[in-house]
């Protein structure tokens, strides 16, 4: 299993529209083969920053999603509204959970 965290900083005027698109897209991502978990968060200090946290069966499952039209079309749409480039982190499954 891997964990993917993506930080997305959008232009403030696009925040509400982006949130609606994220909410619409989330069930489709969650139902994509290999996706085990998906959560969307909003930054506590800047409401124009969103985070997605997803768990995937394997790196190849994540890559299959990233190559799929579901991701490609959505990413092209929201990327136009970024204030800064997105930051993505891929983590191994937790070494310690308490």
* Per-residue pLDDT, 93: 85
Distance CA 87, CA 98 (A): 27
Q: Does 88 reside within a domain?
A: yes
How do residues 20-64 score in pLDDT, each as one tens digit? 999 999 999 999 999 999 999 999 999 999 999 999 999 999 999
| Residue 19 three-state SS | helix
How high is the pLDDT of residue 97?
86
The span from the first CA to the last CA of the chain, in angstroms, equals: 18
For residue 66, is it within any domain? Answer: yes
Identify whether 54 is part of a domain: no
Say whether pLDDT at 96 is over 90. no
Residue 76 lies in a domain: yes
Domain with 65 in it: what CATH number? 3.30.70.100
Angle at the Cα of 40 from the Cα atoms of 34 and 43, rounded to 5 degrees: 145
Residue 52 belongs to a domain: no
Q: Which domain holds residue 8?
A: 2-47+60-92
Q: Is residue 53 part of a domain?
A: no
pLDDT value, residue 31: 97
DSSP H or E stretch at residue 93? none
Domain membership flag for residue 18? yes
Please report whether residue 87 resides in a domain.
Answer: yes
What gap in Å lies between CA 47 and CA 26, rounded to an integer?
A: 18
Number of domains within the chain:
1
């Amino acid at each position: 299993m891997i964990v993917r965290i993506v930080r997305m900083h959008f232009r403030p005027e696009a925040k509400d529209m982006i949130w609606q698109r994220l909410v619409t897209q989330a069930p489709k991502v969650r139902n994509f083969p290999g996706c085990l978990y998906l959560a969307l968060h909003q930054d506590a200090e800047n409401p124009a920053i969103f985070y997605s946290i997803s768990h995937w069966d394997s790196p190849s499952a994540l890559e299959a999603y990233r190559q799929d039209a579901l991701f490609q079309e959505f990413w092209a749409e929201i990327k136009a509204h970024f204030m800064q480039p997105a930051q993505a982190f891929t983590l191994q499954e937790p070494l310690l959970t308490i």
